[in-house]
Amino acid sequence: MKKINKNSLNGFINYGIVIAAFAVIQALLGMGRLSNSLQSLLVPACCYIVMAVSLNLTVGILGELSLGHGGFMSLGAFSGIAASILLQNAIPLAPARLAVSMAVGALAGALGGVIVGVPVLRLQGDYLAIVTLAFGQIIKNIIMVLYVGVDERGIHIAASSERFDLAPGGTAIIKGPMGAVGVTKLATFTAGFILILITLAVVQNLVNSRAGRAIMALRDNRIAAESVGINTTKYKLMAFVTSAALAGAAGALFGLNYSSTGASKFDFNTSILVLVFVVLGGLGSIRGSIIAAALLYVLPEMLRGLGLNDFRMLIYAIVLILVMLATNNDQLKALLGRVIPKRKGAVTSG
């Protein structure tokens, strides 16, 4: 029997965790044991897990800081919503339309990734962080003044409401600061689950491939990597665009889970929130990102149910600080190492 590679084993465990969690939640749903509030968190939690895993590809595995992941999510959300409305008659089957919309969202995200990545990834240092930060703001501000609609004459796009002359009976898709209103909700938990599996497959296979090793070599020592003939820009772009495309797909799923979505949702705070999930889950650790995103997204809503309404934001912040302190505490790590002998005490990648 062929011995299974340690990295692939790690990957299989991640699939296992996700599938087991899905099975448990489906069983609870079937028994009617899940509260309304938890049910409403399932789809957004899936979106944030995909966001965290994809950002981990840029931050943890490529080693470049991105502060505009919300911008790619925004691109995906609004292009996905637009696609779902435009294709309403062409594809009547809801799951198929959702899949196409998510693919469109992924394409939009990838396009944004290429536009930002091509000039900036040639540079060295912290430029990517600054440019992605600006990119997120630019996307937000553009969508805030963007009016998109469709009527029998075709698609209308305008930068102000005065120039936006939609024929009566036409559908407005994006209405400036109101964002997209009147979206048919297509997103389902199953779709979110499948998107997580696809994300895991893409990211884990990329990391364990020849390209992935090149990407990690760039992170660890750029000069050494260049000296053995690794094309810096190509591999950086590969990781960055993959990450942006996955964020776009997550954005499309997120946008199609609510009847209205505004551009202000995908601001700097959202980008930082996802970065917090990645950092607290452990840079480079896919499993950590999944668990951190799921727990930290659900936590503030769970605190509502415990009668801690007035303090939930405070408690959330304290939990973040405690996790940060705990994961960096040597004594705690040593203690964990004694309980679980195989654990070496350091965060392992994969």
Contact positions vs another protein (CB under 8 A): 35-37, 39-41, 44, 141, 144-145, 161-162, 175-179, 181-182, 254, 257-265, 301, 304-305, 307-315, 318-319, 321-322, 325-326, 328-332
Q: To 5 degrees, how large is the angle CA 96–CA 101–CA 107?
A: 130
CB of 164 to another protein, least distance (A): 10
CB of 191 to another protein, least distance (A): 17
Q: Are 67 and 300 in contact (CB under 8 A)?
A: no
Nearer to another protein among residue 152 and residue 310 (C-beta)? 310
At residue 205, what are phi and psi to the nearest 5 degrees? -70, -35
Give the DSSP per-residue string, 325-348. HHHT-HHHHHHHHHHSTT--SSPP
CB of 275 to another protein, least distance (A): 18
Nearer to another protein among residue 152 and residue 330 (C-beta)? 330
Distance of CA 297 to the CA centre of its chain: 12
CB of 255 to another protein, least distance (A): 10
CA separation for the pair 247, 190 (Å, rounded): 18
Rama region for 229: left / alpha / beta (φ>0; ψ in -120 to 50; rest): left
CB of 349 to another protein, least distance (A): 24
Nearer to another protein among residue 155 and residue 322 (C-beta)? 322
Nearer to another protein among residue 202 and residue 315 (C-beta)? 315
CA separation for the pair 16, 314 (Å, rounded): 34
Q: Are 41 and 294 in contact (CB under 8 A)?
A: no
Nearer to another protein among residue 181 and residue 347 (C-beta)? 181
